[in-house]
A and B are shown apart, each in its own frame.
Chain A
């Protein structure tokens, strides 16, 4: 039976992970409300208006902040999921679910790797889109 550890977690400190997850959710909620506000007050946005809106420095800063928040929030959340469910305890030979042998650790690391790659791709792609307009 493997010991699930925190070495691949965000900070190895539960307090810091917890604060980051709460703070990033507040930022994402604020960004969501901000964007909803924009859509509700600007019906039928033209490309020019949209372009002008997203080239403002303040909007870009807020957008990147929301994007980075998404990156951190998703990483901490997906890491939690991986250490809860993708373990030898649940997937191993005597596990409750898929009996995959004692490979829980490898599946968990593969899952974390895939999550990290997808997460990073979204972050870079998002920044590229923001600066591309």
Chain B
């Protein structure tokens, strides 16, 4: 029997959040954490969580599993539990709880919005499309793959302390994706919007984001590149 402990909170009925214990028979199979939640939901339909594609593409089911953030659909129970004998599921840390494992992503998306996640180009629009060489396109590898699951930003203490001012690893990897895009002409304007002491410089390089990213991306390196671009622009 698998021992599962899940963070529960319904603001309509509970005064405070609490951990609820469940037992589940997985038939001896090493299923994914999301499968565990689906089975438990049959036992207890009041359990709330987000999910959609169940294959690590949509980024809906970011959770804190035994202390580490990740996507429930692609993390096997054995990997989540490690040496522990209980699977402990909590919502992504640092964001307001809506109910059970569902968090309010408003602060996270607010930071994403700030970095203007779209191409800005003030040159005349060509007849067909703005072309990029394969080399220029290659600069975007390791950046564009971000699915905005928030696993990185919600594992970052600097984002916990200043979610309204620090862009966070997810927003910054996206910011760098547009800073180095050969088709974007707003590089300087984008950099000037990041020069304050909070947006970029709250990153102290502890790399919790790198550990958490389910897509294997490295926001810390992207942040280092942004810092170097800022140094070149402003010194």
Contact size range, A: 20 to 34
Known: A15-B230, A15-B231, A18-B227. A83 touches B195 (CB 8 A): no
Stretch of A42-50, A56-64, A84-92, A121-129 lying at the B interface: A84-92
A17 adjacent to B201 (CB under 8 Å)? yes
A3 proximal to B (CB < 8 A): yes
B200 proximal to A (CB < 8 A): yes
Give the chain A neighbours of B197 by CB distance below 8 A.
6, 9, 11-14, 17
Complex: A40 Cα to B227 Cα, angstroms? 39
Stretch of B84-92, B159-167, B181-189 lying at the A interface: B159-167
Complex: A87 Cα to B165 Cα, angstroms? 13
Give the chain A neighbours of B235 by CB distance below 8 A.
15, 19
Known: A6-B197, A14-B197, A14-B199. A83 touches B234 (CB 8 A): no
B234 adjacent to A89 (CB under 8 Å)? no
B153 proximal to A (CB < 8 A): no
A14 adjacent to B198 (CB under 8 Å)? yes
Complex: A19 Cα to B201 Cα, angstroms? 11
B227 adjacent to A6 (CB under 8 Å)? no
A4 proximal to B (CB < 8 A): yes
CB-contacts of A1-44 with B (<8 A): 1, 3-4, 6, 9, 11-19
B196 proximal to A (CB < 8 A): yes
CB-contacts of B183-229 with A (<8 A): 194-202, 227
B60 proximal to A (CB < 8 A): no
Complex: A18 Cα to B203 Cα, angstroms? 11
Min Cβ gap B93→A in Å is 10
Chain A residue at minimal CB-CB distance from B165: A4
Min Cβ gap A128→B in Å is 32
Not counting A15-B195, A83-B198, A87-B162, a sample of 18 additional A-B residue pairs whose C-beta atoms are within 8 angstroms of each other reads A1-B164, A3-B165, A4-B164, A4-B198, A6-B197, A6-B198, A12-B197, A13-B195, A13-B196, A13-B197, A14-B196, A14-B230, A15-B231, A17-B201, A80-B202, A84-B161, A85-B161, A89-B161
For the complex of A and B, 8 pairs with smallest distance between CB atoms:
A14-B201, A14-B197, A84-B161, A15-B234, A6-B197, A15-B230, A9-B197, A14-B196
